[in-house]
Amino acid sequence: MREFERKQLLERVDREAATVGASIPDTLDVQGEEFELREFVFEVKKLDAVPAERREDVEDAKKSLRRERLQRRERLEEADISREEGEELVEAIIGIERALNALESLGTTNIEAEIEASERADRKRWFSFLKEALGHDDNEGIKR
């Protein structure tokens, strides 16, 4: 895959509305094990709030999904892969993000943590905007 193609794929992953219309994968290979992702998300989403006996399962799933999303993104950024493999990674990353959004919207009660996460996301968007507006390279901080 050429570098400009890689950048296009990464831009698709980073779009604000990347998950709009995206579907949650039926299954996902997480750390070598098949995970029935769609079924798990819909099963948990049916509940008004996550019951105490399922909270640990949901938190573990979210941690695993975040780790898997990061590993796939790193592969997309760095690995010697074909355009087709890159497209598959993008679809998987967006599907994982969609599942995480669904799981993270469940029964959130810690308002301070929500505010902090929102502020972190705002800062990240602001720094991305500044980097792009100022023409800084992502890795070296050098103007183009």
Q: Reduce the secondary structure of 80-143 to three states and give it as a string.
A: CCCHHHHHHHHHHHHHHHHHHHHHHCCCCCCHHHHHHHHHHHHHHHHHHHHHHHHCECCCCCCE
Overall domain count for the chain: 2
30 and 62 both lie in a single domain:
yes
Q: Are residues 78 and 12 in the same domain?
A: yes
42 DSSP assignment:
H
Residue 117 and residue 105 in one domain: no
Shared domain for 71 and 13, answered yes or no, is yes
Higher-confidence residue of 136 and 96: namely: 96
What is the predicted pLDDT for the residue at 47?
Answer: 73
Query: 100 with 34, same domain?
Result: yes
Closest CA to 95 of 4, 1, 30: 30
Tokens 């296009």 correspond to 8
Rounded Cα distance, 29 and 59, in Å: 18
Both tokens of residue 144? 């183009």
Q: Are residues 136 and 68 in the same domain?
A: no
Same domain, 25 and 47: yes
Domain that holds residue 130: 110-144
Q: What is the mean pLDDT of residues 98-111?
A: 73
Pair 101, 115 in one domain: no
Radius of gyration of the chain (CA): 17
Asked if residue 82 and residue 72 are part of one domain, the reply reads yes
Please write the tens of the pLDDT for every residue from 43-100.
Answer: 888 876 777 777 888 888 889 999 999 999 999 998 899 999 999 999 999 999 998 8
Q: Assess whether 77 and 143 both reside in one domain.
A: no
Helix, strand and coil in the chain, % to nearest 5: 65, 5, 30
Q: Are residues 87 and 42 in the same domain?
A: yes
- 101 and 117 share a domain? no
